[in-house]
C-alpha cells in the first residue's frame, strides 16, 4: 500500500508495505534490576495451559515490567502521583520523525552523555513532532543486554531543554532511560521533557511521550520518516511498544 502525504508544503510518497521496525522484543533485554521476564503456562488443578503438556490450547501467564524488559513508551504518569495512563495520553499514532545518529560524549567522571551541542549540530528541522536518536557504535549487543548497574548513556538536562524548545513531542532513543541510572531520584530530564516542576504540578505537554530501549539497525539511514507508535490497551504509565518507521520519498 502506497500513500502520499504533505509535510511543510512538501509532498512525500510512503510505502506502508515496507515497514522498518525499531523495537526490541519484551524479555530480550533487562535494566534497573527488574524482576526477570517470565511466561509460563497457567495451571489450575490438572489443567496446564500448554499444548505440549496435553492441553488443547496454549494459555500463558506473563510477568513483565514495561520499563525494564524491552522497548516501551511512557507518559508523564511515570513520574507523577496520578500515574496517568499511556493508553489515555497517547492519542495520535502517526508522526513525522527525524532520525539522527549520535556518538556519546564522555565526561570527566566517566559518564557517557548526549549533550546540547551535539543536538544543535545534528537536528536540521527545528519544528518536527518526533525525534529518534541512535547512539554509536550501534552494536547488536543492544538487543540482548542487561543494563542493570552499568550506568548507561543518558541525556543532559541542557540537551533535554533544547529538545523541548524545538517542540519535539515524541522522543525515541536506544537507551534504558533519558536520565542517569542512579541520580538520587531526581529524574531531571524526565521532568524537563514533560514540563513538571516541584512548584508547578501541571503541564501543557501531557500528550508527549518517551520511548526507550529501541534498536535502529544500521541499514536505516538518518533522515526523515513516517513514524507509527503501536501500544496495547494497557492502563499503566508505560506499555511495551512497537515503533515502526517508513521511508519518505519526495
**What separation, in Å, do the N-terminal and C-terminal C-alpha atoms of the chain show?**
17
Comparing C-alpha atoms, which of 199, 119, 129 is closest to residue 156?
Answer: 119
Write out pLDDT tens, residues 150-176: 999 999 999 999 999 999 999 999 999
Q: Is the pLDDT of residue 200 over 90?
A: no
Q: Taking 80 as the threshold, does the pLDDT of residue 198 lie above it?
A: no
175-186 residue pLDDT tens: 999 999 999 999
According to CATH, the topology of domain 2-26+67-247 is Glucose Oxidase; domain 1 (3.50.30)
Per domain, the residue ranges of the chain are 2-26+67-247, 33-65
With a cut of 80, say whether residue 197 has pLDDT above it: no
CA distance 21 to 67: 19
Q: Is the pLDDT of residue 126 over 70?
A: yes
pLDDT in tens, 33-83: 999 999 999 999 999 999 999 999 999 999 999 999 999 999 999 999 999
Helix and strand element counts for the chain (H, E): 4, 18
Of the listed ranges 7-16, 130-139, 199-208, 225-234, the least confidently predicted one is 199-208
Least confident interval from 107-116, 118-127, 159-168: 118-127
Q: What percent of the chain has pLDDT over 70?
A: 98
Work out the average pLDDT over 122-146: 95
Q: What is the secondary structure of 71-109 as a DSSP string?
A: -EEE-GGGSSTT---HHHH----EEEEEEEEE--EE-TT
Q: Mean per-residue pLDDT for 194-217? A: 87
Mean pLDDT across the chain: 96
Mean pLDDT of 122-151: 95
Residue 115: which of 163, 74, 185, 45 has the closest Cα?
A: 163
Amino acid at each position: 500500500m502506497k500513500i502520499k502525504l504533505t509535510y511543510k508544503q512538501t509532498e512525500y510518497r510512503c510505502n506502508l508495505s515496507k515497514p522498518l521496525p525499531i523495537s526490541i522484543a519484551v524479555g530480550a533485554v533487562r535494566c534497573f534490576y527488574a524482576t526477570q521476564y517470565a511466561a509460563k503456562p497457567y495451571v489450575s488443578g490438572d489443567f496446564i495451559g500448554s499444548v505440549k503438556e496435553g492441553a488443547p490450547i496454549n494459555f500463558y501467564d506473563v510477568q513483565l515490567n514495561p520499563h525494564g524488559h524491552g522497548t516501551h513508551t511512557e507518559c508523564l504518569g511515570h513520574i507523577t502521583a496520578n500515574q496517568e495512563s499511556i493508553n489515555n495520553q497517547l492519542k495520535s499514532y502517526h508522526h513525522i520523525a527525524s532520525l539522527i545518529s549520535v556518538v556519546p560524549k564522555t565526561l570527566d567522571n566517566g559518564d557517557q552523555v548526549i549533550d546540547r551541542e551535539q543536538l544543535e549540530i545534528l537536528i536540521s528541522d527545528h519544528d518536527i513532532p518526533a525525534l529518534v536518536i541512535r547512539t554509536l557504535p550501534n552494536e547488536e549487543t543492544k538487543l540482548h543486554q542487561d543494563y542493570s548497574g552499568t550506568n548507561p548513556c543518558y541525556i543532559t538536562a541542557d540537551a533535554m531543554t533544547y529538545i523541548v524548545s524545538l517542540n519535539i513531542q515524541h522522543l525515541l532513543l536506544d537507551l534504558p532511560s533519558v536520565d542517569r541510572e542512579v541520580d538520587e531520584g531526581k529524574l531531571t530530564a524526565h521532568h524537563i521533557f514533560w514540563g513538571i516542576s516541584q512548584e508547578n504540578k501541571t503541564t501543557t505537554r501531557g500528550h508527549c511521550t518517551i520511548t526507550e530501549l529501541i534498536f535502529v539497525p544500521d541499514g536505516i539511514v538518518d533522515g526523515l520518516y513516517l513514524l507509527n507508535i503501536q501500544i496495547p490497551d494497557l492502563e499503566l504509565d508505560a506499555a511495551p511498544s512497537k515503533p515502526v518507521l517508513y521511508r519518505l520519498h519526495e
